[in-house]
Structure 1
Amino acid sequence: MQSKKKMIVNTVFLVVIFALTIYGVFHGEDLGAMMEAMRRADVRWLLPGLFCVVFFIWGESIIIWYMMHSFQIPVKKRTCFLFSSVGFFFSCITPSASGGQPMQLYYMKKEKISLPVSTVILMIVTITYKAVLVVVGLGLVLFGQGFLHRYLTEILPVFYLGIGLNVFCVTAMLILVFHPALARTILVLGLKIVEKLHLMKRKESRLKKLEASMEVYQNTAAYLGTHKMVLVNVLAITFAQRFALFAATWFVYRAFHLSGISFITIVLLQAVISVSVDMLPLPGGMGISETLFLKIFPPVFGSALLLPAMVLSRGLGYYGELLVSAVFTIVAQLTIGNTKREKRGGTTYDRVL
């Protein structure tokens, strides 16, 4: 019953945010001129942009497949693609992308993959996924001040907030993974403070759950300690994966037969939007992503093509991702856990850390 209520709340929230976004972006705009400009866009350049979106989803599936095999779990690549699609679909429709990994864990469990293994894998995916944004954000702050002041003057506070939130998130996860004793001390202290302030009732079971959850981070640390090159390879794949999605905006730029702005400039501008909105509690950064695009891309697309470019860019980077992942989430629902499994010699999906 509670899960149904949560689903209803999330659905209503998504619809409200979507309606407000549509109103905020298109209110008072010449929709006829926008549609005409979009019709003139060269589809031959948009198709590679769609391929970038598919590559983005596929990239995470390769990471999952690669790490599964490091645990000697012979899961198929197509199954990992379904896991990846499920994660992106539910991340797109839930605030702060909070629904993606729980649903991935659910489908991995249906494939008889043990919870400790799948949790460690998804923990590393999350760390590297956000670490890319931290590297991009801090790199621009340290070495790209000219770039920032040329393109981002209006949105610098939001950009710095995004960097701060991502740095905090990655730092917290790394502390949990590599300094579990310190993390436990901090979390227990925080729990005691919350209970002392009467924001929560004192419960012994809550402390036991906290200690049980720390085992996940200890397992992650143990895995990384013996698989350092796996982490390096995963980080490299994640960079390629994330920059492929950012590159979709460059293909939109070329679809309008524009030139003069470099590929790397457009990719970094799109990366700035991801850095800024990734940690905000909005499904897919909806609303704020469109606003930031309209703020920072006028020097790239000009006033006449800015709105059509935003629609096509977001159409590929968010709604295209949502559509592709939705299709394969349906496939996952129909196939994962419902097909007759082959015998796997020597190793089973029930393997634990």
Structure 2
Amino acid sequence: MTKKNKLVFLLMLVLGIAIFLFSVRNVSFSALVVDIQHLHWGWLIVAFCSMFFSFFLEAIVVKALLHKETMTLRWRDALRIPLIEQLFNGITPFSSGGQPAQLFAMLQSGADAGRATSVLLMKFVVYQSMIVVNFIFALLTGFHFVADKMQVLSLLFVLGFVVHLCVIMALLMIMYWYSFTKRLVKAFFKPLRWLSKSNRYEKLEEKVDVKIDNFYEESLRLKRDGWLLFKISCLTLVQLFFYYIIPYFILLGLGVSGVNFWMITTMHILIVMVISLFPIPGGSGGAEYSFSTIFSSFITNSSKLILAMILWRIITYYFGMFLGMIALVIPPQKMKKIDK
């Protein structure tokens, strides 16, 4: 981890603390202390376990995709990869650092660079597809609730859906209209080369071409292995489910009664979609605002609402980052050979 990354990590912690302090400025400190004293810690432990199980399911996906007939990834290193991803997603804008960090962790474990890159691309398309599936479900079941009460956020939900859908469509075009997509990319870069005499755009085009080729080759492999594609899709869907249900356990931990499981889960799906639009690492500021705005309809007590938001951010954001710090210092082991 570079000095720059360490500095950003510390800045995100400071920013998080500042946001928490700003959030409790109008809340009675004594009321907050009373709410903390009356927490049901058993439900909060379940929430932490749900988050960790989400990481574990992602590790299974990584292990399945990297598995070869002669080599396989060790379980310890398989779990290390999503944790490192969480750390670098949390300290980079739009979670852009997660993919390179995963690639580096795979290479440390002895994975082939080309194979690791294509695996990450396929993992990404499956993950994005399952996010869209979940979001469609959320739109059908809970969007009317948000649209009636929070018009500004409802526009962000729709924008987030459009962005993710465009990403999926682009990836599907590579899978099924490879030649057309290549021509489209070349046509896009042609006017950019005319506008600049430097070879920067040519290098960028070559880089994009390599990524398209790697993704297409991996997609051919997965299309031939339909069972593997189905398996990792189901695992990713379950992984997201365990992530999305965390606010429900937090509300139970706060003693909030009469909460609807599916409505709480649906609201969290919508919140996660909004967070992805904020350029600040971890969606800091926007994430807290979205959570507080949406869940104010379920938690009328202001101190409990702020406490729920703080617990949610600790579990879904900072918990993964701290585990990623631990995973980063654990020395990796090479992929082990499979005895015939």
TM-score > 0.5, shorter chain as reference:
yes
Q: Are positions 1:186 and 2:184 aligned together?
A: yes
The whole-number CA distance in structure 1 between the counterparts of 2:129 and 2:22 is: 32
State the Cα distance separating 1:296 from its structure 2 match.
0.5
- Corresponding residue number in structure 2 for 1:176: 174
Pair 1:140–1:342, CA change in 2 (3 A): closer
Pair 1:145–1:85, CA change in 2 (3 A): closer
8 Å contact from structure 2 (residues 58, 239) kept in 1: yes
Deviation string 1:27-59 (CA, Å, 9 cap, x unpaired) is 444344324312321111110000011111111
- Corresponding residue number in structure 1 for 2:193: 195
More divergent stretch after superposition (263-272 vs 7-16): 7-16
More divergent stretch after superposition (62-71 vs 257-266): 62-71
Secondary structure at the aligned position of 2:71 is classed as: coil
The whole-number CA distance in structure 2 between the counterparts of 1:170 and 1:153 is: 26
State the Cα distance separating 1:11 from its structure 2 match.
4.9
Deviation string 1:168-196 (CA, Å, 9 cap, x unpaired) is 12222222333222222222222122222
What is the TM-score of this pair, normalised by structure 1? 0.85
What is the TM-score of this pair, normalised by structure 2? 0.88
1:226 to 219, 224, 227: 224
Secondary structure at the aligned position of 2:82 is classed as: helix
- Corresponding residue number in structure 2 for 1:336: 332
Amino acid at match of 1:224: L
Superposed, 1:265-284 pairs within 5 Å as 265-284=263-282
Amino acid at match of 2:71: I
Amino acid at match of 2:312: S
Pair 1:265–1:143, CA change in 2 (3 A): closer
The whole-number CA distance in structure 2 between the counterparts of 1:289 and 1:238 is: 23
- Corresponding residue number in structure 2 for 1:319: 318
- Corresponding residue number in structure 2 for 1:87: 85
The whole-number CA distance in structure 2 between the counterparts of 1:202 and 1:323 is: 37
Amino acid at match of 1:36: V
Pair 1:50–1:342, CA change in 2 (3 A): closer
Pair 1:196–1:299, CA change in 2 (3 A): same
The whole-number CA distance in structure 2 between the counterparts of 1:199 and 1:265 is: 55
- Corresponding residue number in structure 1 for 2:115: 117
More divergent stretch after superposition (296-305 vs 198-207): 198-207
Pair 1:207–1:241, CA change in 2 (3 A): closer
The whole-number CA distance in structure 2 between the counterparts of 1:76 and 1:222 is: 26
- Corresponding residue number in structure 1 for 2:75: 77
Secondary structure at the aligned position of 1:257 is classed as: coil
Pair 1:135–1:151, CA change in 2 (3 A): farther
Pair 1:39–1:125, CA change in 2 (3 A): farther
The whole-number CA distance in structure 2 between the counterparts of 1:72 and 1:89 is: 31
8 Å contact from structure 1 (residues 178, 221) kept in 2: no
Give the fraction of aligned pairs with identical amino acids, expressed as a percent.
Answer: 20
The whole-number CA distance in structure 1 between the counterparts of 2:80 and 2:280 is: 24
More divergent stretch after superposition (134-143 vs 311-320): 134-143
Gaps of 5+ in 2: none
2:104 to 99, 103, 106: 106
Secondary structure at the aligned position of 1:299 is classed as: coil
Secondary structure at the aligned position of 2:298 is classed as: helix
Pair 1:123–1:189, CA change in 2 (3 A): same
The whole-number CA distance in structure 2 between the counterparts of 1:336 and 1:230 is: 26
Secondary structure at the aligned position of 1:302 is classed as: coil
The whole-number CA distance in structure 2 between the counterparts of 1:263 and 1:129 is: 23
Pair 1:141–1:210, CA change in 2 (3 A): closer
Deviation string 1:248-302 (CA, Å, 9 cap, x unpaired) is 1111111122221211111111111111122432222221110001111012111
Aligned length: 339
State the Cα distance separating 1:308 from its structure 2 match.
1.0
State the Cα distance separating 1:117 from its structure 2 match.
1.5
